[in-house]
Amino acid sequence: MTTDGIVAVTGIPNFASLRRAVMLDSARCGAEAPASRTTTFEDGTARRTFAGITRGVDDSRAIEFGDVNAETSCSDPRFKARLADFRGAVSSAAGAFASRMSELFPTAEGQPLLWDFPHKTAFRNLDEVVRAAEHLEHFHAYHRPEGAAAAEPDATTIDLHADQGLFIGFTPGLVVQTSGDASVAAEVTGADAGMFVVERPDGTRARADFGPDGDIVVFMLGDGVDQIVNPRMPEGVRLRSAPHAMSMPRLARNQARMWYGRMFLPPAEALSEPHGVTFGELRRRAVEDVHEGGGVGRGLGCSRALLENEGTQCKDNQMYCWMRCMDHTPAINPKACEDKGLKLQCLSQRNQVWRLEDSHGDYNPTCSNSNDNVTPPPKIPARAGTCNGTFAPFLAKESYPNSIELVKGKFYLQWRVASGVLEARMAYDGVVGWMALGVENPGGGHNGMNGAKTVMGINDADKDIFGAPFVGTGVHEYKIHDRLSAFRHWSTPLAPANITGAEMNVTACHTAMKFTTAHAIGGEPLHLADNGKNVSLIWAVHPDTFLKGYHGWGNRGHLVIDFAKPHGHKAWKNPYGGGGGHSGHSGHSDGGGHSPAAGDDRTGAESLNTTTFSVIDHSGSRGATTASAAALLAAALALVDLFAIVLEY
């Protein structure tokens, strides 16, 4: 979702036949429904539409077709039943998608994505946003009406654009034939449904191949992620809205391309902070723009152009910083800064000035005269070739009776328990900015990270390079803030310390953190002598930059260990390879920082690029109900880290 911004959910049981039936029904009903609207495009294509609304992911409102009599296709109870099942299946897929996206892409510092007005209810993540809003549904029939000129070869029907809203869920086009009678429709088997093109990050364009089976719902990120989601993402994480275009196939006069889509919008009651009004009010203004502009308006209130044109409306005791209004404080306000000969600015932890185009990082109002623009944090320099082959002796695995390979070939946790004392070591094949091992806080934000007690080893040799706050190279115990994840919010070590003998060993080739404890981390017991007592742990390592304010993306996960038992040496295990786990512990690790589904027995993380995934009915039956399809879909989403659609060049 950070590269192409589009994912195909495939293999949904019974969905292909349901989709086909609903598209054929919609072709018949749309031609008869008085509420249908028709739009004509520059290439001569006409689009007939009827629309609906779904609240959240499980409350699909009845579609109003207009004043239709009992003899029309729209009144057929079989159509209405199939339509309800179809919309319900899409809702199940959308709910699972939003939930999984929330797990994979948590916000920086645990900050909510949105607040309502007047700032009482928080929408913490994409899942909560989606479940609180009303979403627009459209059933489209594209056709070439009588009298329209033939389209030019390769003519584009809908030009390259990114959809408004947070994301859209849709089913690929299906070509139907009416045989001159709107009440009779049949699928044109094997017909070209047109060309759907996605623009890649490098500017090249690729045709999306959705496959022939039809058991598919596609989710594609829209312009809303740039305005609502990306400003809340951790440093270095940016979701991509997917620019795309569509060209109609060359259809006969009695043929139509059927398509269904649902646009997922922010809640009407949620506050657009740059405007000081709700998204519902912005949409109302957009409708007024259309009416006053003779049918031309600025859209649904999510685009960057609208944000820039409207300007910001912060209160007198606030400043606009990092895409939202932040309060002045007694020490940080225009007068206090002026008294020091400084300006009130929105700065990063490296004293760089935030601009509208700088959507990532950790920014706050600060008194400063800095003129430096935001730049990426400095990368850890590449190792010399002389480091090759030197990790094995550095690891010295034989000196510890227990170890787990956390990241394949790169990162290990080693330990021994002797005389009631835990001696632990984490070793990485490379130079890192920091590494950590802690006790999970059940129910805490970011999957047990917020509020957790942790041992953190930091490589912080230069206060002028590595970002505030400067703490120096060393190992300490910390309590991660209950809500805010950036290191500056919890950079004071715990006292008194439970650990002793702590050291951070950084060489030109490798990094290791060691510590000893008799019973606990930050007061959280490790049950060293309680046989059968599991301890849920979290771990992380940051080998990319020296930036302490970056609280982790990838290279992190969960472990469950009974320290009273011997474990031996556990090699990294592909979390997607299936099979049973290791006896004595179950390791949860996903490379994305979330807890996997119950019963998943993983021990390590490795970068994986999954191009497609399928929902599989393990009973062997393809005739599963919508409910079982939803359950299987949720299970499949719980096992997949990165999604991308198959793109055909």
Give me the residue spans of the domains in the chain: 6-272, 275-307, 312-368, 385-589
Q: How far apart are CA 145 and CA 519, in angstroms?
A: 78
Least confident range of 261-265, 443-447, 575-579: 575-579
Q: Which residue has the higher pLDDT, 52 or 454?
A: 454
pLDDT at 361 over 60: yes
> pLDDT tens digits, residue range 97-156?
999 999 989 888 778 889 887 777 889 999 999 999 888 888 888 887 766 555 555 556
> pLDDT tens digits, residue range 487-517?
888 889 999 999 999 999 999 999 999 999 9
pLDDT band, residue 431 (cuts 50/70/90)? very high
Closest C-alpha to 605, from 614, 597, 594, 619: 594
Q: Which residue has the higher pLDDT, 367 or 444?
A: 367
What per-residue confidence (pLDDT) applies to 578? Answer: 39
By three-state DSSP, how is residue 627 classified? helix
pLDDT at 608 over 70: no
> pLDDT tens digits, residue range 524-560?
999 999 988 999 999 999 887 776 555 444 478 889 9
pLDDT band, residue 207 (cuts 50/70/90)? confident
pLDDT at 65 over 60: yes
**Highest averaged pLDDT of the listed ranges 30-44, 130-144, 327-341, 437-451:** 327-341
Q: What is the mean pLDDT of residues 214-235?
A: 88
Q: Which residue has the higher pLDDT, 286 or 642?
A: 286
Closest C-alpha to 370, from 347, 349, 340: 347
507: tokens are 């060489």
What per-residue confidence (pLDDT) applies to 360? Answer: 57
What per-residue confidence (pLDDT) applies to 236? Answer: 80
Q: Which CATH class is domain 385-589?
A: mainly beta
> pLDDT tens digits, residue range 19-52?
999 988 888 887 776 667 777 777 777 888 878 8
pLDDT band, residue 612 (cuts 50/70/90)? very low
**Highest averaged pLDDT of the listed ranges 66-75, 127-136, 182-191, 238-247:** 127-136
Whether the pTM exceeds 0.75: the reply is no
What per-residue confidence (pLDDT) applies to 390? Answer: 93
pLDDT band, residue 378 (cuts 50/70/90)? confident
Q: How far apart are CA 565 and CA 547, in angstroms?
A: 37
Q: What is the mean pLDDT of residues 426-454?
A: 91
pLDDT at 518 over 90: yes
> Burial letters for 524-554: b for 16+ Cβ neighbours within 10 Å, e otherwise?
bebbbeeeeebbbbbbbbbbbbbbbbbbbbb
Q: Which amino acid is residue 336, in one-letter code?
A: A
Q: How far apart are CA 312 and CA 130, in angstroms?
A: 25
What per-residue confidence (pLDDT) applies to 577? Answer: 41
Q: Which residue has the higher pLDDT, 150 or 203?
A: 203
What per-residue confidence (pLDDT) applies to 17? Answer: 92
> pLDDT tens digits, residue range 264-276?
999 989 888 766 6
Least confident range of 154-158, 389-393, 408-412: 154-158
Q: Which residue has the higher pLDDT, 634 or 412?
A: 412
What per-residue confidence (pLDDT) applies to 633? Answer: 39
Least confident range of 306-310, 345-349, 535-539, 569-573: 306-310
Q: What is the mean pLDDT of residues 236-262?
A: 84
Instruction: Using alpha carbons only, give the angle 141, 144, 147 rounded to the nearest 5 degrees.
Output: 140
| DSSP string covering 132-143 | HSEEEEEEEEEE
Is residue 595 within 8 Å of residue 558, measured between CB atoms? yes
- DSSP 8-state code for residue 75: G
Is residue 214 within 8 Å of residue 19, measured between CB atoms? yes
Is residue 166 within 8 Å of residue 130, measured between CB atoms? yes
Q: Quick one: which H or E segment has residue 403?
A: strand 402-407
648: tokens are 């055909």
What per-residue confidence (pLDDT) applies to 321? Answer: 82
pLDDT band, residue 523 (cuts 50/70/90)? very high
What per-residue confidence (pLDDT) applies to 489? Answer: 83
Least confident range of 163-172, 197-206, 316-325: 316-325
pLDDT at 520 over 90: yes
pLDDT at 370 over 80: yes
**Highest averaged pLDDT of the listed ranges 53-62, 137-146, 232-241, 463-472:** 232-241
pLDDT at 598 over 50: no
What per-residue confidence (pLDDT) applies to 68? Answer: 57
What fold, for 6-272?
Answer: Jelly Rolls (2.60.120)
Q: What is the mean pLDDT of residues 569-590?
A: 48
What per-residue confidence (pLDDT) applies to 501? Answer: 95
What per-residue confidence (pLDDT) applies to 357? Answer: 63
pLDDT at 471 over 70: yes
- Mean pLDDT of all residues belonging to the chain: 76
Fold matches, 6-272 and 385-589 = no
Q: Is 389 exposed, middle or buried (0-12, 13-18, 19+ CB in 10 A)?
A: exposed
By three-state DSSP, how is residue 93 classified? helix
Q: Is the N-terminal amide bond of 212 cis, ω within 30° of 0?
A: no
